[in-house]
């Protein structure tokens, strides 16, 4: 129904390991901040989507936080990734649905190569990205290194079949997009 906590937990643990490997295992687990701006809104014209963004960090257990279930029309920017428009990987997470209705990234799987995704920042700039690909991957095969270390914007939600025994979707839908400009 909603973005699986287990799937995001696995991604969060892997993210920490990937960042430790990339940074040499030092105390810093996040990429150096390039900007004091923060993303405020995501616009996806092809989906007729405009949604506010909130900050998502890590929980006390080291898992990636999720947007609250009581705000299904809000997506979240993972603060362990770069600000959209800056060099590096930027990650935005949103729920696919709730127990009763579609959520912010319900139609994410419909995006196609070439579509534009815009992220409005607090400094007045808009980072524009072009979709390179959309893939559905089993949560057990989450491509953490590609998602969290390669340049570009990553949009993540749940997808595929719903596993009623586990009460979660079996897959993640991941959109990969490359920066066109930040103006």
In angstroms, the CA 53 to CA 40 distance is 5
* Tokens matching residue 151: 């340049």
Structure confidence at residue 182 (pLDDT): 77
DSSP letter at 58?
B
Structure confidence at residue 34 (pLDDT): 59
* Tokens matching residue 84: 């959209």
Which contiguous run of DSSP H or E holds residue 101? none
Structure confidence at residue 157 (pLDDT): 96
Q: What kind of fold does domain 5-30+38-182 have according to CATH?
A: Sortase; Chain: A; (2.40.260)
Mean pLDDT of the chain: 85
Model confidence at 162: pLDDT above 50: yes
Structure confidence at residue 9 (pLDDT): 42
The string of pLDDT tens digits covering residues 45-86 is 999 999 999 999 998 888 789 899 899 999 999 999 999 999
In angstroms, the CA 164 to CA 1 distance is 9
In angstroms, the CA 110 to CA 132 distance is 13
In angstroms, the CA 158 to CA 12 distance is 15
Q: Are 77 and 54 spatial neighbours (Cβ–Cβ below 8 Å)?
A: yes
Per-residue pLDDT, averaged over 20-29, amounts to: 41
More confident residue, 22 or 111: 111
* Tokens matching residue 176: 């990969």
The string of pLDDT tens digits covering residues 117-152 is 999 999 999 999 999 999 999 999 999 999 999 999
Model confidence at 1: pLDDT above 90: no
Q: Please, which residues bridge with residue 97 across strands?
A: 102
């Amino acid at each position: 129904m909603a973005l699986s906590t287990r799937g995001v937990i696995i991604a969060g643990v892997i993210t920490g390991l990937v960042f430790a490997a990339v940074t040499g295992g030092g105390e810093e687990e996040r990429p150096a901040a390039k900007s004091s701006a923060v993303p405020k809104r995501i616009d996806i014209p092809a989906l007729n989507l405009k949604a506010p963004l909130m900050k998502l960090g890590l929980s006390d257990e080291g898992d990636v936080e999720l947007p609250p279930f009581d705000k299904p029309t809000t997506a979240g920017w993972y603060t362990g990734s770069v600000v959209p428009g800056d060099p590096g990987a930027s990650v935005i997470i949103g729920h696919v649905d709730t127990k009763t209705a579609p959520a912010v990234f319900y139609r994410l799987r419909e995006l196609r190569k070439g579509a534009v995704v815009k992220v409005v920042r607090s400094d007045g700039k808009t980072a524009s990205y072009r979709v390179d690909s959309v893939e559905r991957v089993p949560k057990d095969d989450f491509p953490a290194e590609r998602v969290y270390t390669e340049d570009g914007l990553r949009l993540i939600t749940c997808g595929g079949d719903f596993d009623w025994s586990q009460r979660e979707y079996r897959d993640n839908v991941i959109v990969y997009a490359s920066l066109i400009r930040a103006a």
